[in-house]
């Protein structure tokens, strides 16, 4: 009954049920997502996707946010902006489910809301609903599924369906069918990481497309498995042998929402590197150390971090985003890990590459225990031995951007402006910030957003 319970909850959730914190977080999630989406639209993988999807035309229902006033169907639009927002690895993460929820939940919201002239309150409600479902499904299949399956592409598809379905006002029965169609389309394998290939953007785009498609199909009477999550041959048991089905509905409706515990990224790379990155940034600021001062670095990590980002010799920018060795070395040299530190002409810096050879990654039972006891803690411990014989040591459980070390709204605005102003004018970027800030007072999203991006 877990699928039906989730479907009923989402279908019946009202804006008045949301806390002030959840409304504020929904806005912050949308702003963070939009900045990454706008800047991500300029990346090579996204230009390829745009060339393929947009060449076939389609109704001008949804904006693509690539700076050139392109619009397409809600289905194609969700795919385009979903993939763009996952192309920089700068988008948010819900730690407990290890899902980049914004890139699968918010694109259907923006595409459908613009197409159907929905209000800002409708969008906020749909975003909270999508985060709720996506996170719950993700938590139910961790940690086992993560070795093979990218949860943003798999569990995230349910979040996309929930946000699209809620925005379309599907009733409980049709929402159940919507989730059923979404689940049978869920996919996303980690094999691409070996080559640093472009597949991760495809995972997000397809999740968004599948979510919107599932909502439209359910609206028109298309049927699907009613127990897609808990069924014998359903999603959860396909992902792992003994899924945590209780996570699907645990404490649901108690007034607290999964979006409240979302994390934001100050670094444009895999979240599993962030604890170590943050420690190095602290060392750099407090001790004024540089790569030349380092004798060796030991990184103590959990199992997921070990098999996902232990890459001592990445060959391309995307590979570097999933190399904890590169991220730590680049942070020590540059003091930041924005888009520019992963540019093709930067990643082979000799000083950074030399330092990477001095870094050891160690899967540590103590760090693994931290994660198993509290999955919101993607912790790492770093020990830096300096050439003068001194040793620096730091355990980081909550790097910058986590709820316990949170981004302020002003910090999110700063990040947004740094990304969006590369594609839109300063005035347009600032207008988009104001649009999201005041979203709960917007009656017709299409009119407001087109007034800004069509200038």
Q: What is the pLDDT of residues 51-70, one digit of tens each?
A: 999 988 779 999 999 999 89
Give the model confidence (pLDDT) of 331-378 as tens digits.
999 999 999 999 999 999 999 999 999 999 999 999 999 999 999 999
Return the pLDDT at 57: 76
Which tokens belong to 170? Answer: 């599907």
Return the pLDDT at 56: 80
Residue 44 sits in a domain of what CATH number? Answer: 1.10.4100.10
Return the pLDDT at 378: 95
Give the model confidence (pLDDT) of 19-43 as tens digits.
999 999 999 999 999 999 999 999 9
Q: How large is the average pLDDT for residues 258-274?
A: 97
Residues 95 and 242 occupy one common structural domain: yes
Domain's final residue, options 381, 400, 419: 400
Give the model confidence (pLDDT) of 140-199 as tens digits.
999 999 999 999 999 999 999 999 999 999 999 999 999 999 999 999 999 999 888 999
Residues 47 and 137 occupy one common structural domain: yes
**Pairing of β 380-386 and β 294-301:** antiparallel
Return the pLDDT at 244: 98
Domain that holds residue 133: 2-265+409-453
Residues 297 and 259 occupy one common structural domain: no
Q: What region, left, alpha or beta, does residue 94 occupy, with left being phi > 0 and alpha being psi -120 to 50 degrees?
A: beta
Residue 354 sits in a domain of what CATH number? Answer: 3.30.1330.120
Per-residue burial over 161-171, b = 16 or more CB atoms within 10 Å of its CB, e = otherwise: bbbbbbbbebe
Residues 370 and 422 occupy one common structural domain: no
Residues 220 and 308 occupy one common structural domain: no
Residues 212 and 75 occupy one common structural domain: yes
Residues 34 and 74 occupy one common structural domain: yes
Residue 264's CB is within 10 A of a number of other CB atoms, namely 23
Which tokens belong to 211? Answer: 């979510």
Per-residue burial over 63-85, b = 16 or more CB atoms within 10 Å of its CB, e = otherwise: bbbbbeebbbbbbbbbbbbbbbb
Alpha helices in 141-232 (DSSP H): 155-167, 172-183, 199-219
Residues 117 and 205 occupy one common structural domain: yes
d(CA 455, CA 439): 20
Residues 259 and 321 occupy one common structural domain: no
Indicate if the pLDDT at residue 206 is higher than 70.
yes
Residues 184 and 284 occupy one common structural domain: no
Contacts of 307 (CB under 8 A, 6+ apart): 147
Q: How large is the average pLDDT for residues 432-442?
A: 98
Return the pLDDT at 58: 77
Return the pLDDT at 194: 87
Q: pTM here?
A: 0.95
d(CA 337, CA 402): 17
Which class for 252: exposed (0-12), middle (13-18), buried (19 or more C-beta within 10 A)? middle
Total number of domains constituting the chain: 2
Give the model confidence (pLDDT) of 114-143 as tens digits.
999 999 999 999 999 999 999 999 999 999
Return the pLDDT at 408: 97
Q: Are 311 and 323 in contact (CB under 8 A)?
A: yes
Of the pLDDT bands very low, low, confident and very high (cuts 50, 70, 90), residue 73 is very high
Q: What proportion of the chain, given as a percentage, has pLDDT over 70?
A: 100
Residues 292 and 362 occupy one common structural domain: yes
Indicate if the pLDDT at residue 455 is higher than 70.
no
Residues 302 and 258 occupy one common structural domain: no
């Amino acid at each position: 009954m877990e699928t039906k319970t989730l479907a009923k909850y989402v279908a019946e959730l009202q804006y008045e049920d949301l806390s002030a914190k959840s409304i504020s977080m929904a806005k912050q999630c949308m702003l963070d997502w939009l900045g990454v989406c706008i800047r991500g639209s300029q990346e090579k993988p996204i230009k390829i996707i745009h060339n393929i999807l947009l060449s076939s035309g389609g109704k001008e229902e949804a904006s693509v946010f690539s700076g050139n006033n392109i619009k397409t169907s809600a289905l194609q639009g969700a795919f385009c902006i979903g993939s763009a927002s996952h192309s920089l690895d700068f988008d948010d993460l819900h730690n407990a489910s290890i899902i980049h929820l914004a890139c699968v939940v918010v694109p259907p919201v923006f595409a459908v809301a613009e197409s159907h002239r929905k209000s800002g309150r409708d969008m906020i409600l749909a975003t909270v609903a999508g985060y709720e479902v996506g996170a719950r499904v993700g938590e139910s299949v961790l940690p086992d599924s993560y070795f093979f399956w990218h949860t943003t592409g798999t569990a995230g598809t349910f979040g996309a369906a929930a946000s699209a379905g809620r925005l379309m006002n599907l009733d409980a029965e049709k929402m159940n069918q919507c989730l059923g169609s979404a689940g049978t389309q869920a996919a996303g394998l980690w094999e691409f990481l070996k080559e640093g290939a472009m597949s991760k953007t495809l995972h997000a785009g397809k999740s968004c497309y599948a979510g919107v498609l599932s909502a439209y199909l359910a609206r028109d009477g298309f049927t699907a498995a009613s127990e897609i999550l808990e069924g014998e041959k359903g999603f959860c048991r396909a992902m792992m042998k003994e899924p945590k089905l209780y996570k699907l509905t645990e404490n649901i409706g108690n007034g607290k929402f999964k979006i409240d515990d979302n994390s934001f990224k100050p670094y444009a790379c895999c979240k599993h590197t962030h604890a170590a990155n943050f420690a190095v940034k602290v060392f750099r600021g407090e001790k004024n150390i540089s790569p030349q001062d380092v004798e060796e670095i030991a990184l103590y990590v959990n199992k997921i971090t070990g098999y996902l980002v232990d890459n001592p010799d990445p060959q391309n920018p995307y590979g570097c985003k999933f190399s904890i060795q590169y991220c730590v070395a680049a942070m020590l040299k540059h003091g930041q890990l924005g888009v520019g530190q992963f540019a093709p002409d930067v990643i082979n810096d000799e000083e950074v590459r030399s330092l990477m050879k001095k870094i050891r990654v160690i899967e540590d039972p103590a760090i693994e225990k931290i994660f198993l006891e509290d999955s919101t803690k993607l912790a790492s411990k770093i020990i830096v031995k300096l050439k003068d014989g001194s040793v620096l040591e730091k355990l980081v459980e909550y790097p910058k951007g986590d709820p316990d070390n949170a981004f302020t709204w002003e910090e999110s605005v700063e990040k947004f402006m740094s990304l969006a102003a590369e594609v839109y004018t300063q005035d347009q970027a600032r207008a988009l910030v104001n649009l999201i800030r005041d979203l709960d007072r917007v009656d017709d999203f299409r009119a407001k957003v087109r007034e800004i991006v069509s200038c």
